[in-house]
Amino acid sequence: MQCKWTIRTDTLFKSHEVSFRLGEWGRDVTMDGRTVQFKVEEGEKGVDNRSVDLHKQRECFVNDIRRSSLHDRLVEVQRSGGLETTLVRDFSAEGMKVSLRVNDVVSTSFFARQFGSDR
């Protein structure tokens, strides 16, 4: 059985939480209000994860993202309204870098990790 992952994103304007299992399609309402079908896979840094079959069974590491530097990346594909969006999340001790690509448009954000809070 795959681990259930939850990613919570808090901004000044809105919060969003999504739960999923690696390799399984799910449904989500994004922070901008779109309803999407999505799937998240584990990725490897230094690899073009858009063209690689990323489905890998891995041991669950609940509440621990301090893992091999090769596998602290999640790649999400979202589909909605005929568009496909790819989000690459790179985790580090400092936080999460998110790169989002739709067609030829790329956006990058960094979310600082919050220490010492309940969430």
pLDDT tens for the chain, 119 residues: list them. Answer: 578 989 888 888 999 999 999 999 999 999 989 999 999 998 875 544 443 333 333 333 333 333 444 458 999 999 999 999 999 999 888 988 999 999 889 999 998 888 765 55
Total domains in the chain come to 1
Which domain does 80 fall in, by range? 24-112
Residue 31 lies in a domain: yes
Nearest to 86, CA basis, from 96, 74, 95: 74
Extract the tokens encoding 55: 């489905």
Nearest to 107 by CA among 87, 90, 81: 87
Residue 10 within a domain: no
Residue 3 lies in a domain: no
- Is 50 part of any domain? yes
Quick check: is 58 in a domain?
A: yes
pTM: 0.71
Q: 36 in a domain, yes or no?
A: yes
Residue 119 CB contacts under 8 Å (≥ 6 apart), including other chains: 8, 10
Q: Which phi-psi region, left, alpha or beta, contains residue 24 (left: φ > 0; alpha: ψ -120 to 50)? A: beta
Tokens matching residue 89: 């999340």
